[in-house]
Structures are given as C-alpha cells and as structure tokens.
Amino acid sequence: MFKVTFVFVLLAITRSISAQTHNTDVGGAELARIQSEYSDVLALQGTAKAEVLAIARLLRAKPEMAIDQTKAAGEYCFKSSQATMVHYASKPEATTEDVVYEFDATQLLAAGLDPQRVPNLPALGNMEPGKWYFLPSGVADPHHQHVFTTPTIAMSVNVK
C-alpha cells in the first residue's frame, strides 16, 4: 500500500513540475516577446518614460485618437481634437518629416494671418522642417488625401 501511495504522490509531483516547467517556457517566451516588442519603451528613463506613459494613458482612455497611416504615409497620427493632429514618422531615418503638427487656422485667420504669405502644404516628404504651411478648408490634404473642414496650418520637425 505504501508503494502505491508513494507512486501516486511521485506522479503528482512530476506532473506539477512538468506543468510549472511548461508554464515557465510559455511565460518565458511571452516575456521575451514583450521585451523585444517594447525594448524602446523599456529603455526609457525619467521624464521620457513618464511622457510615453502619459501618452499611453491618453490613448488607453480614448484609443480612437490613434490613427494608423503607415501604409499611406509612413506615419502614426495622434488626433487630439477634430482639427488638431500630430503625425509621427514610423521610420524617422527615412524622412526629414519626423513629426508633423497640424492645427486649425480659423482663429489665426480671424486675427489677421494672410494665407497668401504662407506656402501651400506640399506633398508628403517635401516639407521644409521648421517652416509653416497652409491648407485651405475643403482641399484634400496632400499627405493623407482627406479633406479638412477647417483651414489648417502645418509644420514639420526633423528631430535627428
């Protein structure tokens, strides 16, 4: 009787260790995937880390602010309001338009901005970093091919 009980206990322990080892393998693979996928975020420290987490919390609260334009324009877009967007290049090494800011120009026009003195928004890849551009309302955006309902000003930044 002792031998039978001992064998059952030994089998239970073996199964438990096997299950734990299997779960560890799965957990290890998942951890490796997370580390690989989020290595840029995990490497951040201090204010940079806090800033990325603040943006992540905004997107978690309202995920529809995130727009994937990677196929059309190589950008991820953060649409914080109906007429305000920030575009981030998915491959900044391939462009000088690392970040593009777009703002509703309605109040600027009312305050006296002369749109004739601001160049029209050029095609994607043709913006000069630090230079402001204008896009009239009702005109298709040359970057994403959608029509803005408000006049827009835009500027790109090359962070490299």
Domain coverage including residue 33: 2-37
Same domain, 28 and 74: no
Task: Name the residue among 124, 86, 90, 119 with its Cα closest to residue 102.
Answer: 86
Same domain, 89 and 146: yes
Is residue 101 packed enough to be buried (19+ CB in 10 Å), middle (13-18) or exposed (0-12)?
Answer: middle
Torsions phi, psi of 29, nearest 5? Answer: -65, -40
In a domain, 16, yes or no: yes
Query: Up-side HSE of residue 56: CA atoms within 13 Å toward CB?
Result: 8
**pLDDT by residue, tens only, the chain of 160 residues:** 444 443 343 334 445 444 554 555 667 888 888 888 888 888 999 999 999 999 999 999 999 999 999 998 899 999 998 889 999 999 999 999 999 999 999 999 999 999 999 999 999 999 999 999 999 999 988 888 888 889 999 999 999 8
- Based on the structure, what is the number of domains in the chain? 2
Count the neighbouring beta carbons within 10 Å of the beta carbon of residue 52.
13
